[in-house]
């Protein structure tokens, strides 16, 4: 499998009140096409900063980040914005959507902004409806965003992240604002997308979420301390055993 993301000696330093805060220190890892990789670690360990820097949402201090073979470090903000819009998908804990648009219009907005797909707005809307149908939320297409549940809204965010056929999805605590039932539903949908070939990197503190990933990276104080290979998740029947093994490994890591 080809590598979608290659990170070499990545460092990220913030300067606050003339004092340096080294959030990431010589981080190295790769993510291959078709993987779903979870990043775990204690609060303040650098999980979200890692996701933001490797996806081009935040600049890096030193090192190299290669996305689909091309180094994104040093690119202009305009170039990075175009890359994020056309080649990446994003899902966040807070489900950012425009209140003056329907759920469907929020979903298709990235495609309308991109112009990557040479299609009419009617064709774009049809693709958006197809994604909603696939994720079981077609019945809320014309609803306002304040008329739907958190779980439905997060699945709508997944649809939105897929509109421009991204090479990779980045998710920051995608189930963090959801109850357990909605969390399970959202993770099942992400697992299905991954099984179909979508590459995913997600940050989570939830073992039940990470257990559905192919691999887990454990970060402490800005360094990746270890990684655990879970292989591909195929059915809910194996979940308890995956959680047990992951819990054991996390305890060894100092979780």
With vertex at residue 248, the alpha carbon angle to CA 243 and CA 254, rounded to the nearest 5 degrees, is 120
Q: Give me the torsion for CA of 36, 88, 11, 230, rounded to 10°.
A: 0
**pLDDT more than 70, % of the chain:** 100
**pLDDT more than 90, % of the chain:** 76
Average pLDDT value for residue range 129-139: 94
pLDDT at 242: 95
pLDDT surpasses 80 at 116? no
pLDDT tens per residue across span 6-47: 999 999 998 888 788 889 999 999 999 999 999 999 998 999
pLDDT at 40: 97
Average pLDDT value for residue range 71-81: 91
pLDDT surpasses 70 at 115? yes
Q: What does the mean pLDDT of the chain come to?
A: 93
| Domain edges within the chain | 3-98+168-253
Which position has the higher pLDDT, 56 or 18?
A: 56
pLDDT at 58: 93
pLDDT at 141: 97
Average pLDDT value for residue range 97-121: 90
- Residue 126 φ/ψ, nearest 5 degrees: -65, -40
Q: Does CATH place domain 3-98+168-253 in 3.30.70.20?
A: no
pLDDT at 1: 65
């Amino acid at each position: 499998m080809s590598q979608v993301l290659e990170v070499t000696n990545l460092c990220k330093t913030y300067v606050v009140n003339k004092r340096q805060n080294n959030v990431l220190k010589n981080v190295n890892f790769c993510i291959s096409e078709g993987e779903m990789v979870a990043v775990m670690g204690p609060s303040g360990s650098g999980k979200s900063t890692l996701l933001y820097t490797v996806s081009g949402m935040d600049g890096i201090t030193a090192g190299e980040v290669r996305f689909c073979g091309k180094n994104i470090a040093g690119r202009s903000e305009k170039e990075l914005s175009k890359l994020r819009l056309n080649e990446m998908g994003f899902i966040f804990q807070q489900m950012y959507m425009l209140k003056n648009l329907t759920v469907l219009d929020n979903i298709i907005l990235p495609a309308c902004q991109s112009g990557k797909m040479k299609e009419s707005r009617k064709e774009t809307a049809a693709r958006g409806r197809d994604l909603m149908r696939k994720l079981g939320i077609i019945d809320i297409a014309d609803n306002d965003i304040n008329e739907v549940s958190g779980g439905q809204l997060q699945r709508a965010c997944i649809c939105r992240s897929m509109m421009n056929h991204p090479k990779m999805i980045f998710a920051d605590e995608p189930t963090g604002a959801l109850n357990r039932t909605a969390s399970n539903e959202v993770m099942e949908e992400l697992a299905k997308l991954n099984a179909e070939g979508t590459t995913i990197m997600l940050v989570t503190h939830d073992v039940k979420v990470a257990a559905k990933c192919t691999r887990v990276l454990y970060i402490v104080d800005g360094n990746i301390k270890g990684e655990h290979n879970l292989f591909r998740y195929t059915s809910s029947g194996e979940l308890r055993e995956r959680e047990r093994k992951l819990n054991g490994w996390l305890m060894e890591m100092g979780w």
